[in-house]
Structure 1
Amino acid sequence: MRFSSVSKMVVFAGLLLGLWAVPAKAIAQGGDKVLQPADTQKLLPDNLWYKGQAAPAQKRNSGGVKFADGAYVLTTLVDTSGYSSDVQAKYQAYFITEAPIKIGGHDLPAGIYGVGFIGDNKFVVTDVGAHDVFSVDSANDDGMKRPRPLQITENEGGGFRLYAGRRYVTFSK
């Protein structure tokens, strides 16, 4: 009888430890993840539709985030040489979000957009017809070593940073 009580206690303790360990492991594996160009190249199309024409994606200059719930944010620079100069001035990258996000305090619904860093330290978001959705202030990260043409990093205060060189905006889900 004593063996049976000890066995039950050991099994019960094992179950408690197992239940305690599973959520901790799920949290560690279930967080948001910054994607590198090698990750996003498989997800992005070769040609991107914007303002009535298709342009090649510069997939080597891409980035993204995979959120814990499986939704993606993907972005890539675009070869805009076939566009008019007014479109080129504000359309530098293709931006896809599968979930609503906030950029610089503005709500952005799930969808496909054109984005760009423009003069006066502004970041502009346009729809695929090249109509302005909103613009926000961008910041400059003078401390960034080896800036890339486009990248996404984690933001120290939560969320993420979308960079073009040393200029960036923050976004979060």
Structure 2
Amino acid sequence: MRFQAMMKFTGAVALAAAMMAAPMQLLAQGGDTILKPADAQKLLPASVYYKAQSAPTQLRNSAGIKFADGYYVLSTMVDTSGYSSDVAAKYQAYFITEVPLKFGGENLPAGVYGAGFVGGKFVVTDVGAHDVFSVETGSDDALKRPMPLQIMADPSGGFRLYAGRKFVKFAR
């Protein structure tokens, strides 16, 4: 009798362990994770360097992705007071990528950049405020709750970086 009870207990423990391990395996093998602002905030600095100045970040307005292989893309809005108006227009967010990305037909190597939505363009600059590229943006009028900055999955694959209802598509 004790042997049967022990076998039931051991079987139940093994089943519970397998059930708990399954989600971990799916997470490890599964896909990329879009970070909530609170998770992105933990990885981003309180201030950043750009064009010979230090600017405070708006960590409440941050977003990111943790790719299945452990690499990150992170972005946060910045306070650009103190910058000239032409620099501040293009430098709305700090953008960090640990992997190369594609924005339309443009390739962005791993690195740290300034980024902004200017008119109908998404403009990427290096930390010296030199233009790297600009691509066309879209507008998502169906977005129910636009935020100053967020990342969402793109229905056709890849991701969308939003500033309000404006967005730019990107992928690895």
TM range (shorter): 0.7 to 0.9
Q: Distance in 2 between matches of 1:146 and 1:104?
A: 25
Give the superposition deviation at 1:104: 2.0
Match of 2:164 in 1: 165
Give yes or no for the alignment of 1:37 onto 2:37. Answer: yes
Q: Deviations over 1:78-123 (max 9, x none)?
A: 000110111011110000000111112311000000000001x100
Alignment of 1:18-167 (within 5 A): 26-30=25-29, 31-119=31-119, 121-167=120-166
Q: Counterpart of 1:55 in 2: which secondary structure?
A: strand
| CA distance 1:54–1:25, change in 2 (3 Å) | closer
* Counterpart residue identity of residue 83, structure 2: Y
TM-score (norm. length: structure 1)? 0.84
- The CA RMSD over aligned residues, in Å, is 1.7
* Counterpart residue identity of residue 70, structure 1: G
Q: Distance in 2 between matches of 1:52 and 1:33?
A: 33
Q: Deviations over 1:7-54 (max 9, x none)?
A: xxxxxxxxxxx9xxx999734543100001100111000001000000
Unaligned runs of 5+ in 1: 1-17
Give runs of ≥4 in structure 1 deviating > 6 Å. Answer: 22-25
Q: Counterpart of 2:34 in 1: which secondary structure?
A: strand
Paired residue total: 152
* Counterpart residue identity of residue 124, structure 2: V
Q: Counterpart of 2:124 in 1: which secondary structure?
A: strand
TM-score (norm. length: structure 2)? 0.84
Unaligned runs of 5+ in 2: 1-17
Q: Distance in 2 between matches of 1:34 and 1:105?
A: 23
| CA distance 1:47–1:24, change in 2 (3 Å) | closer
Q: Distance in 1 between matches of 2:24 and 2:79?
A: 42
| CA distance 1:25–1:55, change in 2 (3 Å) | closer
Q: Distance in 1 between matches of 2:157 and 2:103?
A: 13
Identity of aligned residues (%): 64
Q: Distance in 2 between matches of 1:110 and 1:56?
A: 22
